[in-house]
Chain A
Amino acid sequence: MNNLKVWIPLAIFLMFCGVAAYQLTQPKDEFVESTMVGKPVPEFELRPATAELPGLSIADLKDGKPKLLNIWASWCVPCIAEAPHLETLKRQGVEIVGVAIRDRPQDVARFLGQYGNPYTKIGADDLSEIQLSIGSSGVPETFVVDGNGIIRHQHLGDVRAEHVPMLLQKLAEAGS
């Protein structure tokens, strides 16, 4: 008690705890959105990814109807997991267009045959050009695009059952 020095470490430590506790209670932005949200999809034109469906171009995204733009690939394992939920969305009347990343027509056809086809159109993006230009960093990702081709929402990773209502709501907001 007679020696003040021995109390210094404790005093410093308690100060640190105070600052840390304060910092912990501060809200932080945790969700990193693409900087493209709120902006129009850049011009593009993609050849069909499979013989059964038409390809995709910017004009398809500006037809006045909000849509889901799903970035996927037949070699992508989480894409298998999200397939049934895209089917659910389709049954609710949602139009889903796809962009297949670095894929082959026969693989795309095999995937659609095996896991179902929720898409009305699929463009083939062999060099990831579209993917990168709209701020997607991987597969799968799903964008809500309104009738004027403006990106309203970005969903990272696979679409799961719990995301379906949220996506439906975002689409409804994009349609109004």
Chain B
Amino acid sequence: MIAELGLAALWLAAALCALQLLGGALAQRDENSDLARLVRPAAIIQGLLAGFAFLMLLWLFYVTDLSVKLVATNSHSAKPLVFKLAGAWGNHEGSMLLWITVMALAGGLIALVERRLPEKTMLATLSAQAFVGLGFYAFLLLSSNPFERLPQPALEGIGLNPLLQDIGLAFHPPTLYFGYVGLSVAFSFAVGALLTRQVNPNFARAMRPWVLGAWIFLTLGITAGSYWAYYELGWGGWWFWDPVENASLMPWLAATALLHSVGVLAARDALRTWTIMLGVIAFSMSMLGTFLVRSGILTSVHAFAVDPERGSFILVLLLLYIGGSLLLFALRAGTVSEGERFSVTSREGALVFNNVMLSALLGIVLLGTLYPLLTEAFDVRVSVGPPYFNPVGAIFTIPMLLIMAVGPLLRWRGDSFARIKNSVAIVAAIMLAVLALVLILGSYGLLPVLGLAVAAGLAVGSFLPLRGRNLLRAPLSLWGMVIAHFGIAVALFGMASETAFSEEKLAAVPVGESAEVGPWDITLEQVAPVAGPNWTAIQGRLAASYDGGDPVLLTPESRNFWAPTQETTESTLATRWNGQLYAVIGNQAADGRWQLRLWWKPFVTFIWYGGILIALGGLLALIGRLRTDLKRRYVKSRQADRAKEAAAL
């Protein structure tokens, strides 16, 4: 009954979505028609229905209803509760339902609160949102029904992919989804504005919170995903340039560019076409990522719901949304004027530079990701990895970060470098000092050395915009920018020092003996079998002591899950302020010695601290913007009241 309720709610939501599309489209001719008045309520009720359907799915997973195919194939009665619930979205059908739910709720929220745009643009936006939504409903209901019943209830479920049975990963996909869906809202705004030719600062202010929100979630999602891959996959790395990782990075790059250009549009009414273009591109990247992950078209370590039929469905959606919006863009771009002018040496100039570099970066990641696909069409199998991405990426990243360190000091519209020359000198001096220091310390690769120098300069540079200001009265959005930029410096520092200073040791150790890596001394005390709720494992007990200090106990495991059967390595980490010891236990050799893989990674945690700081900066900026908006709305309503009173007198 529960499954049928969920399915019914989903069909109803889809019907309302169709109504929303139609009403919004017809309202473009007559915005006072009865149909136009239905659009907002349709969006709100659609959101509630989709939310209800998702709750029903959660309920089915909560009670492990094995008569539902999705539950039987993804859950298991012996699984811990949190992973039972995570099973609801840890699969293709459930995650599509989560996607449409978040999207419908976002649509409902816009319909409920957004009053800034002209009504006609607003209706066009909701209509565009419904257009995207309808495709996903069709996908769910026609090809991936999450509520499908089995002809006969299963005796026991198959389980959730053991790699996904991890608290970090249980929440990683939804976080990314909130990001992707936020970008779908930005996309709808861009299409709505293109349709009604209303690209102006008001449009930018309406769009900005959605871009910021999406960007915060994407940042957190990528950070969490990177940390998960680092400690769960047991290979010791934190970024692999895997197509699935790139699928989340590309929308982030586009959203970062969009975030900055929408700011320019809001503040200065410049970069109109560029902002619209980025709005379209950012969501296109989310869709493209989904396509790459779901179609099985690229080989990836994250192989997920590989299914050419579904791939074809998403490809059609891609053609409709991206093709359609790019066509609309090409037709309309000429009619949107570029907006205000500015000189090269100005805040806008620096932001345009950042935008161009980010777009170039996006281009090279996209090219690297799709290149194997292209060559495979000619029957040549290649894989593109770090040797391509790292140096080519750095060509664009380093200049961008240099400008980023001083760009925020420039004034809008026109400025001179002479005015900020002291700040530039400070940043440059710090970079050179760090460069010299690292070169004295030892010989490391070019990229990590440059990375360390740029990180130091950027760390200081990011705080310079606060100089001479009353710190308590500086706007929250300024603090947000400062912290986000500082976060970039922190993450970069982590990446560069991990690359430069990491030490690795592959040792074969009998029980009772020890191995050394960096400043650590690690003794293998014991190896014993252990059992969990749905796995058995070989667990090693390691006593690790840093520089002769008190030993820390580490217990790396090699786990065997039996539903479904899969072997995973559970690495363990000893975290200090200045880095992490990373230990993995492998097989036993014939002579009784155990294989240990040990890494000492100085300051590796800064990568993720940086990610969190970046997201925190975004959050502060979002709160600051929303507060300003509310104030502005309040002032406006007061003015309107006064005007009414004055008229009454």
B-binding residues in A (CB < 8 A): 1-3, 6-7, 9-10, 13-14, 16-17, 19-25, 28, 30, 73, 75-78, 80-81, 102, 137-141, 157
Contact = CB atoms under 8 A, between A and B. Distances in A.
B333 A24 contact: no
A3 B315 CA distance: 28
Contacts of A19: 370, 373-374, 377
Contact of B155 (A13, A73, A81, A141): A81
Contacts of A7: 330
B562 A20 contact: no
Contact of A6 (B296, B308, B330): B330
Contacts of B319: 17
B297 A24 contact: yes
B513 interface: no
A21 B315 contact: yes
B558 to A, nearest CB: 11
A143 B36 CA distance: 64
Contacts of B565: 137-141, 157
B390 interface: no
B623 interface: no
Contact of A16 (B311, B312, B370): B370
B560 A138 contact: yes
Given A6-B334, A77-B156, A78-B562, A20 B291 contact: yes
Contacts of A80: 155-156
Contacts of B560: 138
Interface string B314-331: 010011001100110111
Nearest to B291: A20
Given A19-B377, A24-B295, A77-B78, A10 B334 contact: no
Given A6-B330, A13-B326, A24 B308 contact: yes
A81 B77 CA distance: 13
Nearest to B319: A17
A78 B156 contact: yes
A90 to B, nearest CB: 19
A30 B306 contact: yes
26 contacts: A1-B331, A1-B334, A3-B333, A6-B333, A9-B277, A9-B326, A10-B326, A10-B327, A10-B329, A13-B284, A16-B370, A19-B373, A20-B297, A20-B315, A21-B312, A21-B315, A23-B373, A24-B312, A73-B562, A77-B76, A77-B78, A77-B563, A80-B156, A81-B155, A138-B561, A140-B565
Contact of A13 (B277, B323, B331, B567): B323
B564 A157 contact: yes
Nearest to B308: A24
B457 to A, nearest CB: 35
Nearest to B333: A6
B330 A138 contact: no
A159 to B, nearest CB: 13
Contacts of B312: 21, 24
A28 to B, nearest CB: 7
Interface size class of B (residues with CB under 8 A): 35 or more
Contacts of A140: 565
A77 B76 CA distance: 9
B360 to A, nearest CB: 15
B376 interface: yes
B564 A138 contact: yes
A16 B295 CA distance: 14
B609 to A, nearest CB: 36
A2 B335 CA distance: 11
Interface string B136-180: 000000000000000000111010000000000000000000000
B329 A9 contact: yes
B563 to A, nearest CB: 5
B382 to A, nearest CB: 14
A22 B562 contact: no
A32 to B, nearest CB: 11
B562 A75 contact: yes
Nearest to B324: A10
Contacts of B202: none
A167 B521 CA distance: 54
A73 B566 CA distance: 15
Contact of B318 (A17, A23, A75, A139): A17
Chain A CB count within 10 A is highest, among B319, B326, B331, for B326
A164 B156 CA distance: 19
Contacts of B564: 78, 138, 157
Q: What 4 A-B pairs come out closest when comparing CB atoms?
A: A138-B565, A10-B326, A6-B333, A6-B330
Interface string B284-322: 100000010001110000000010100110010011001
A22 B379 CA distance: 12
A19 B292 CA distance: 13
Contacts of B567: 137-138
Contacts of B198: none
Contacts of A73: 562
A16 B298 CA distance: 13
Contacts of A30: 306
A167 to B, nearest CB: 19
Nearest to B561: A138
Nearest to B277: A9
A162 B244 CA distance: 34
Contact of A14 (B295, B323, B370, B373): B323
Nearest to A14: B323
B536 interface: yes
Contacts of A141: 565
B322 to A, nearest CB: 6
A28 B308 contact: yes
A2 B562 contact: no
Interface in B527-543: 529, 534, 536
B429 to A, nearest CB: 41
A24 B156 contact: no
A22 B377 contact: yes
A81 B78 CA distance: 14
Chain B CB count within 10 A is highest, among A7, A13, A21, A140, for A13
Interface in B341-400: 370, 373-374, 376-377
